[in-house]
Chains A and B, each alone.
Chain A
């Protein structure tokens, strides 16, 4: 079945450091891929998405590229801020049933 694997956290960085959170997936067909972010005490909100191979999703300085050959969708940001501290979830869409399959989440902690 479909599944998503992302790196365990927490990821601890200093402000302005470079961020990478790894995400790989297993799926039949060509799912859409997503990154959701959960700030403390809040629900999840969409950060970015990509719907086909080689697409790059971007938002708020974050980027991720849909790599079909490596079945990956790694999240990157060139310079993190304290306000980026949150839990980040990678997910894929099961196109047959319009359901999302989530990874386990990666907590990011950014210190001043």
Chain B
């Protein structure tokens, strides 16, 4: 079984809808991240969390919110989806104590906003 899972894997939604992307991990890592990937732009950090009580904005947090429900779960919400949020979204985890800066990625969620 994968250590970092994301649901759904694919999602089509309409402008203005609220949607949630979920991430779960069995690695026991404290740190979790959400990125989006766009062609020609690489990965950009949306939000990150260093533990359940710690949430931080990344470089492109506008239009997004997150919830860290437990050490193993980190959800990303789009309160009112817009077409330019069409992208591939990745969740990642890390643990400085054991893996240093290495991050472990989920398989991604492909989101299309019409």
> Which of A's residues lie within 8 Å of B, judged by CB?
32, 34, 36, 41-46, 49, 51, 89, 93, 95, 98-100, 102-105
Residue contact B41 to A104, C-beta cutoff 8 Å: yes
Residue contact B105 to A43, C-beta cutoff 8 Å: yes
Q: Is B80 in the interface zone, CB < 8 Å from A? A: no
CA distance A44 to B102 in the complex (A): 11
Q: Using Cβ atoms and an 8 Å threshold, which residues of chain A touch B28?
A: none
Contact status of A42 and B40, CB under 8 A, knowing A49-B102, A98-B101, A100-B101: no
Residue contact A43 to B100, C-beta cutoff 8 Å: no
Query: How many chain B residues touch the partner (CB < 8 A)?
Result: 25
* Smallest Cβ-Cβ distance to B102: which chain A residue: A46
Q: Using Cβ atoms and an 8 Å threshold, which residues of chain A touch B4?
A: 43
CA distance A97 to B101 in the complex (A): 10
Residue contact B105 to A105, C-beta cutoff 8 Å: no
* Smallest Cβ-Cβ distance to A105: which chain B residue: B42
Contact status of A43 and B101, CB under 8 A, knowing A102-B42, A103-B42: no
Q: How many A-B residue pairs have CB under 8 A?
A: 51
* Smallest Cβ-Cβ distance to A45: which chain B residue: B105
Q: Using Cβ atoms and an 8 Å threshold, which residues of chain B touch A45?
A: 104-105
Q: Using Cβ atoms and an 8 Å threshold, which residues of chain A touch B100?
A: 32, 51
Q: Is B7 in the interface zone, CB < 8 Å from A? A: no
Residue contact B108 to A34, C-beta cutoff 8 Å: no
Residue contact A102 to B43, C-beta cutoff 8 Å: yes
CA distance A103 to B4 in the complex (A): 23
Q: Is B71 in the interface zone, CB < 8 Å from A? A: no
| Complex A-B, nearest 8 residue pairs according to Cβ-Cβ distance, in ascending order | A43-B105, A93-B101, A104-B42, A102-B42, A102-B43, A44-B105, A43-B107, A32-B101
Q: Using Cβ atoms and an 8 Å threshold, which residues of chain A touch B58?
A: 99
Residues facing A in B41-72 (CB within 8 A) are 41-45, 48, 50, 58
CA distance A28 to B100 in the complex (A): 19
Residue contact B94 to A43, C-beta cutoff 8 Å: no
CA distance A49 to B96 in the complex (A): 15
Q: Using Cβ atoms and an 8 Å threshold, which residues of chain B touch A95?
A: 101
CA distance A44 to B40 in the complex (A): 16
